[in-house]
Amino acid sequence: MLALPLTALFLLKVSACLAVIAGIVFLRISKANHPHAAFGAANYVTAVRALLVALIAGVIGEPRTPGLAAAAATLAIVVTMMDGVDGWLARRSGMSSAFGARFDMEVDALLIMALSVLAWTYDKAGAWVIASGLLRYLFVVAGWIWPWMERPLRPSRRRQTVCVIQIVGLIAIVLPMVTRPISAGVAAAALAVLAGSFFVDTWWLVLHRREQVA
C-alpha cells in the first residue's frame, strides 16, 4: 500500500488502531478464558487478521481514490478468507478458548465498522450505512446498562452466516466499480439482514432475562 497516495497520518492511524487492539487483548486474556500456556497458532492468525483490519481502518480519512478503495477491499477479502483458519487451528491443536472466540469476533466487528465508514466516505451509501458497524458496539453498551444482555447466546450458524453476508456486502460496495444506486441497495439489504439477526438475539435475551446463568 506504500505506493498508494497515503498521507503521513496513515501509519499513525494504523499504529493507534493496533495499540487499542493490543490493549484490549492484554486486558481480556486471563487463565479463565484462555487456560493454555501458549498464545496459540490460532490467536496468532487472528492477530494477523487484526493487523490487516488496522490497515483497512487506516484508509479512513485518506484521499478518496479508486486505488485506495480497491486496496482496502482486497485486504478485506484476504481477512475474510483467513476467517475460519484460526478456528480450525484452535480445534486441531486442542487450544480452543473463550478468549480466542471473542478475539475472532471482535476483529470481524472492527472490519465491519471500518468498511461501513469507508462505504459512507466513498459515497456508496448514506451515513446510515455506519449502523452496520455500530450495531455490535451498541449491543456491548447495552450489556453494560442491562447485565442480562451479557448472557451467553446459544451457538448459531445463522449468526455466522449473517456476519459473512454483511462483510461480503460491504466489500462489494467499497469496490470502485460498484456505484449508486446498486451500492446503496446492497448496503441496505445487508444492514436489514444484520439488524434482523440482532433483533432475534435481543428478543431471546429479553425472554430469558430472569433465568439464572449456569
How many structural domains is the chain composed of? 1
Q: Is residue 4 part of a domain?
A: no
If residue 110 lies in a helix (H) or strand (E), which one and from where to where? helix 98-121
48-82 burial code (b ≥16 CB/10 A, e <16):
bbbbbbbbbbbbbebeeeeebbebbbebbeebbee
Lowest-confidence pick of 28-42, 106-120, 157-171: 28-42
pLDDT digits (tens, 9 = 90+) for 128-174: 999 999 999 999 999 999 999 988 888 889 999 999 999 999 999 99
Q: Is residue 1 part of a domain?
A: no
Q: pLDDT confidence of 40, banded at 50, 70, 90? A: confident
Q: Is residue 213 part of a domain?
A: no
Q: Is residue 5 part of a domain?
A: no
Give the residue numbers spanning the domain of 53.
Answer: 10-207
Q: Is residue 115 part of a domain?
A: yes
- CATH number for the domain that contains residue 26: 1.20.120
Q: Is residue 129 part of a domain?
A: yes
Measured CA to CA in angstroms, residue 181 lies from 26, 113, 178, 188 at distances of: 43, 21, 9, 11
Q: Is residue 89 part of a domain?
A: yes
Measured CA to CA in angstroms, residue 120 lies from 65, 114, 170 at distances of: 14, 10, 10
Q: Is residue 70 part of a domain?
A: yes
Whether this prediction's pTM lies above 0.85 is answered by: yes
